[in-house]
Amino acid sequence: MIKLFTLVVLMFIVPKIFSQTTNNSISAARKELGLIIGNVLDFQSGKPIAFATLQLIKKTDTTKRLIQIADKNGAFEFDKLTFGFYSLTFTATGFATNTIDSINIRAERYDFNLGDVKMKASSSSTLAEVIIYSEKPLIENADGKITYNVGESALSNGSSTSEILKNMPLISNDPNGKILLKGKEPRILIDDKPTDLTADQLKDLLESLPGSSIEKIELMTNPPAQYATEQGGVINIITKKGKIGLTGKITISAGSRGEGSLAANASYRNQKFSTNHNLGISGSRLSGNSYSKRQNIYKDSTNFFYTTSNWKSENLRPNLRSQVDYDFNKHHAISIVYQGNLNYFNNISSTQYINLDRFEKPYRVSNRENGSNGSGYTNNLTINYTLKTKNPAEILRFAIIGSLGKNDNGKDYFQQFLDPFFMPTGVDSTQSQFYDSYNKSLNFRLGYDVPLDSGKVYFTTGATYQLGNYHNTLNTKFFRKQDSSFVQNELLSNDFKFSQNIFTLRAAFTYIFSKTFRIIAGAQVEETTTSFDFIKGNSNNVTTSYWNVLPNITLRKEFNKTFNTSFVYRSSIRRPGLGELNPNIDYSDPYNVRFGNPYLVPSLADNFDWNIGLV
């Protein structure tokens, strides 16, 4: 009995001691995670101060001092710091001493990026500066958006933009890796400019962008006036100009499913000029299998349809993004961004189709093999000009976005028919499709923001004009056994041109009734014109044109810095894409016919949101 009692006591005490020891070890380890990084610059010229002396002192123990020398680019880093309050002093020959006080390293916030610390030249009238550090929160919830200040976190330097997004609130991914905001596909902006990339191209770009190049990420579940019609909200990624001088980074990643990527980043910055370049290549080699069982029930009979398939997909996607920014002065700035993408793919699939009677005995069997391979490219160029007046809230923006792309895709289909005993019948079918797509677009965007009535009323307006032109050709051929030649199938071939022009005009007012309550009301007027010009095929030319008025209103109440609520109504539009309009017949599955309808009209939605924010 005594032995049993002792055993029971030990069963409860030993895990408790082990848990306490483990927790203490983890706690002790976390107390040495403190990290402080930044750059030292000349206040007057903006150039780095090479080899400046830094002295870090902990408030509770001033006898222990960490001394470090900045590198030739003025960069510095203190790591493995214990929790507590610190002061950091900067000294350099010819410059006045500068001290940043009250840096609080704690469990909730243990990494700090001080950014650019600017030192003034010393003189008889220049005094040493002591700055009480006022940290910016990592996450802010204000003005209808959640902002993650990536640049404030030193740990973001070791992550890609894609990894940072995955750890943000409200962000998720679908099974194919596509980014979702509150379960819907958002519009992705980089520096307030739309990217207009495919899901794979956007994924590759975000993986090649290092976290150290990002200033902040804004999640707009209820977007501002210029994007209020977007159904899925907006994610705005704001890049920073980088460190003074030349910096670079190389990243290699791989996944267990057969995915891998290699990315390189290089940036250069001086006082007025900055440039950032990202070069990456992503590839995948995926395979899988699937099956389906379907039962068809009729009034007087029933039958079954089974399929089993396996597939293999190979893909290679190089990409390049180059950005150049130049500030003429504090009022005028220009930005030029080039984005280029290539895509090479090769896909193979094999499927067996079995039709069964009500006794589940096969009566029709066939094997089908599909193969496709091709390539494509996309080139985007964005030129953005910004004008700021003496009032920093009055801003004029103008942007021109041009895009040019091409895709080639060859598909081969072979279907062999078998008897109920799965033996060849000698009947088969071979078909080939060659698909070429050319596209070019031009987008003009104009925006103007101005405060009115002593800053209590803000007015924003803007206009966009988008011109898109596409040329698609599809040539289908079947194999004729009599003379072993491929013959053109005119019924499944076509050649058409498609154009879509969209003009929008918007305006919105923001009324600030008090520091804690505001109303935002606006509307967007749109005209859309689409046309199909069939050079070859069995369809008639189609031209459609329609107008839409999309209003929006937001009521927002802020109770304090961390708690707020808002009620939002906005009308949104979803236009059918080219894939939904394209009348080309997809012959990859003989049991399911897929083609688009050129007469489709857009769908409108009334969105009501009540948001409660607590940060």
Model-level pTM greater than 0.75? no
What 3-state DSSP class applies to 373?
strand
Q: Examine the fold and report which residue of 191, 208, 240 is the final residue of a domain before the chain moves on.
A: 240
Domain tally, the chain: 4
Do 87 and 173 sit in the same domain of this protein? no
Do 229 and 127 sit in the same domain of this protein? no
Classify residue 55: in a domain, yes or no. Answer: yes
Classify residue 78: in a domain, yes or no. Answer: yes
Do 498 and 474 meet the contact criterion of CB atoms below 8 Å apart?
no
Q: Examine the fold and report which residue of 202, 222, 240 is the final residue of a domain before the chain moves on.
A: 240
pLDDT at 315: 92
Q: What is the pLDDT of residues 147-193, one digit of tens each?
A: 888 777 766 766 778 778 877 777 887 776 778 887 778 888 888 77
Report d(CA 296, CA 490) in Å as an integer.
34
pLDDT at 205: 80
Query: With a cut of 50, which residues of the chain have pLDDT below it?
Result: 1-30
Torsion angles phi and psi, residue 165, rounded to 5: -60, -40
Do 462 and 606 sit in the same domain of this protein? yes
Please name which of 277, 29, 266, 34 lies closest in space to residue 154, comparing C-alpha atoms. Answer: 34
Do 22 and 41 sit in the same domain of this protein? no
Q: Examine the fold and report which residue of 209, 240, 271 is the final residue of a domain before the chain moves on.
A: 240
Classify residue 459: in a domain, yes or no. Answer: yes
Report d(CA 275, CA 254) in Å as an integer.
28
Q: What is the pLDDT of residues 89-144, one digit of tens each?
A: 999 988 888 888 888 888 878 888 888 888 888 876 666 667 766 667 777 777 66
Do 570 and 506 sit in the same domain of this protein? yes
What residues contact 400, with CB distance under 8 A and at least 6 apart? 382, 383, 442, 443, 444, 445
What 3-state DSSP class applies to 128?
coil
Classify residue 516: in a domain, yes or no. Answer: yes
Domain with 588 in it: 453-615
Do 65 and 78 meet the contact criterion of CB atoms below 8 Å apart?
no
Q: Which helix (H) or strand (E) is 613 found in, with range?
A: strand 603-614
Report d(CA 113, CA 212) in Å as an integer.
10
Classify residue 268: in a domain, yes or no. Answer: no
Do 127 and 206 sit in the same domain of this protein? no
Do 87 and 3 sit in the same domain of this protein? no
pLDDT at 29: 47
Q: What is the pLDDT of residues 234-280, one digit of tens each?
A: 888 888 765 566 777 788 888 787 888 888 888 887 778 888 898 99
Residue at 144: amino acid letter: G
Please name which of 399, 451, 444 lies closest in space to residue 190, comparing C-alpha atoms. Answer: 399
Report d(CA 405, CA 437) in Å as an integer.
8
Classify residue 152: in a domain, yes or no. Answer: yes
Do 466 and 552 sit in the same domain of this protein? yes
